[in-house]
Amino acid sequence: MHCHTNASGDCSMEPARLLAVARERGLQRLCITDHNSVRAGLELAARAPELVVPGIELLTTRGELLAYFVTAEVPARLEPLRAIELLRA
């Protein structure tokens, strides 16, 4: 439930390839949690809603937090409670 694509600096896999590998391996769910971006997760969830959960690994002023079922971008480096408010909106 914690996968990155090449939208994060620590992974080189294209989103479409990650989706293909997940299907090849028979995964039931895949959560895309790129650093500070939900773009790839939303794109893949639109293509495979039965498989992909859009998420984000968001940098806050006190560290990183993981969020699942994210529907929109949230800016990085906010106070944690403010980030959570925006993620829940």
Distance CA 67, CA 20 (A): 23
Tens-digit pLDDT profile for the chain (89 aa)?
799 999 998 999 999 999 999 999 999 999 999 999 999 999 999 999 999 999 999 999 999 999 999 999 999 999 999 999 999 98
DSSP-derived secondary structure letter, 78: B
Torsion of the alpha carbons at 32, 70, 37 and 9, rounded to the nearest 10 = -30
pTM: 0.92
* Cross-strand partners of 78: 60
Helix (H) or strand (E) holding 32: strand 30-32
